[in-house]
Amino acid sequence: MRTMLPLCFAALVLADCSGTGSGNYPEPIPGSITYGGQPRSKLTKAPVGSWFRHRFIDQFGRDVIETYVIQPDRSLLLTSRIVEPIRFRD
| Domain assignment of residue 7, yes or no | no
| Domain assignment of residue 83, yes or no | yes
Q: How many domains are contained in the chain?
A: 1
| Domain assignment of residue 6, yes or no | no
Q: Flag whether pLDDT at 86 surpasses 70.
A: yes
65: nearest Cα among 45, 51, 46, 75: 51
- End-to-end Cα distance, the chain: 70
Q: What order of strands is seen across the sheet that includes strand 76-83?
A: 51-57, 63-70, 76-83
Of 20 and 39, the one with more pLDDT = 39
Q: How does pLDDT run across 33-83, given as a tens digit for each residue?
A: 999 999 988 788 889 999 999 999 999 999 999 999 999 999 999 999 999
> Taking the model in full, what pTM does it have?
0.69
| Domain assignment of residue 12, yes or no | no
Are 51 and 78 a contacting pair, CB within 8 Å?
no
